[in-house]
A = this chain, B = another copy of it.
Amino acid sequence: MADSFGKLFRVTLFGESHSAAIGVVLDGVPAGLELDLEEISREMRRRAPGQNSLSTPRKEADLPLIQSGFFEGKTTGTPLCALIQNTNTRSGDYEPDLLRPAHADFTGKIRYNGWNDYRGGGHFSGRLTAPLVFAGAVAKQFLKREGVTIAAHLASVGNVKDQRFDPCLVPCELAEQIAGRELPVLDESVIAAMKEEILAAKSAGDSVGGTVECAVLGAAAGLGSPFFESAESRLSAMLFSVPAVKGVEFGAGFAISEMRGTQANDSFYLDGARIRTRTNHNGGINGGITNGMPILFRVAIKPTPSIAALQDTVNIRTQAECQIRVRGRHDPCIAHRAVCVIEAAAAVVMADLVLEARTYGR
């Protein structure tokens, strides 16, 4: 009931998979920010489908058309609206009454009393992450000016694991390197195994999940607030907005629950005049506030719910049990495409935190 997020850097999403367009309104973007549109396009392409055999063959230009808030190459400070037209839709593929398991068909129908646009998942479609990536691309350009970089990688696909970031030292060039690879991983030697995992699922009419690890670099100490406005609260709220995310952990995350305090506590030392921690089990956040170390978190992405295999379900109109085979063009895995979405989600929140920090002198 409120597709808006943020206090000072606000994001409002709209659109359905098969509506005229999807889009986003960004409010509170600082005025005078020169936007590198080519860079934005690159970000959009990272998410775009139809790029190789690992993704859905549905091709969308996903060209964001800026409607407002942008003048002579710079943001105006007033709301920036970008539109992405839906051109390549096949509305015939969907049967609204057969509830696709693990999709929002059932909950969407209940939530909107049966009136939501069901075609292609409607407003619940992963396609809505395209305008979020646009928002993130704008946020990143603002953050870059503030010295903040965001890098994420595909930390695992099924059981195949990538390396993890060095929690205390993530080089800020990494983002670009990762983005240039066939799959966005740290250790290129795992790419083959990951592809195999994805294609194996695909050929079985199945899908597979994964995890994404993300680092926010260069963020000053002092961002965020205690309790309800903790950096973790804000980041997680945004991250759990991304469809298919089922878990979020900061720093050591769930593993910290098996540690002793002597191990988990990140002790302080001086790096010149700067206070740093020797380990980073807390993921760069203490008491809800950033401590100047890399902000680290991991996100669990579930297997694409759309699978070709036959599944049990219910026809909500006839109130009869039945079976469904989800047709259409689907990704056997979305975790790799989620990497840039997670970055975008983080960027949007960080932009908000950075702006808010100006009010108290950070």
Contacts and interface: CB of A to CB of B under 8 A. Distances in A.
Given A4-B4, A246-B250, A257-B156, A359 B360 contact: no
Given A211-B254, A246-B283, A76 B4 contact: no
A152 interface: no
Nearest to A21: B67
B31 A360 contact: yes
B116 A77 contact: yes
Q: Is the interface of A mostly helix, strand, loop or mixed?
A: mixed
A261 B307 contact: yes
Given A107-B222, A241-B233, A360-B111, A258 B158 contact: yes
A189 to B, nearest CB: 20
Interface in A1-38: 1-5, 7-8, 10-16, 19-23, 25, 27-28, 30-32
Q: How many copies does the complex hold?
A: 4
Interface in A204-244: 204, 206-211, 221-222, 224-230, 232-234, 236-241, 243
A246 B240 contact: no
B275 A225 contact: no
B319 A273 contact: yes
A319 B21 contact: no
Chain B CB count within 10 A is highest, among A5, A111, A362, for A111
